[in-house]
C-alpha cells in the first residue's frame, strides 16, 4: 500500500501516487497537492516573485536528490 499524504491546499488525504509534489530549493520539506488544487496552486505560484525556488515534481515522486 502506498503512502498517504495530505493536500496542502484542501487538506484532503490521498495516495501519494495521485498527488503532485512541490519542492522548495534548500529545504527538505515537500508539499503535496491533489489534481483538483494543483492547477490553481500552480497559477498562484507563477505570480510569486520568488517562484523560482519552487520545483514541481511528478506524481509519486519522492524528494529530489
Ligand atoms: Zn487539494
pLDDT for position 64: 53
Q: Where are the domains of the chain?
A: 4-56
Predicted structure pTM score: 0.86
Please, which residues have CB less than 5 A from ligand 1, an ion?
7, 9-10, 34, 37
Q: What is the pLDDT along the chain (65 residues), one digit of tens a residue?
A: 678 999 999 999 999 999 999 999 999 889 999 999 999 999 999 999 999 999 999 998 765 54
Expressed in angstroms and rounded, the spacing between residue 17 Cα and the centre of ligand 1 is 14
Expressed in angstroms and rounded, the spacing between residue 40 Cα and the centre of ligand 1 is 10
Instruction: Specify whether the CB–CB gap between 21 and 31 falls below 8 A.
Output: yes
Expressed in angstroms and rounded, the spacing between residue 65 Cα and the centre of ligand 1 is 25
Distance CA 13, CA 43 (A): 22
Amino acid at each position: 500500500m502506498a503512502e498517504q499524504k495530505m493536500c496542502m491546499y484542501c487538506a484532503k488525504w490521498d495516495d501519494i501516487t495521485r498527488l503532485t509534489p512541490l519542492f522548495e530549493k534548500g529545504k527538505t520539506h515537500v508539499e503535496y497537492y491533489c489534481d483538483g488544487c494543483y492547477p490553481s496552486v500552480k497559477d498562484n505560484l507563477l505570480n510569486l516573485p520568488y517562484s523560482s525556488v519552487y520545483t514541481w515534481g511528478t506524481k509519486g515522486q519522492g524528494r529530489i536528490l
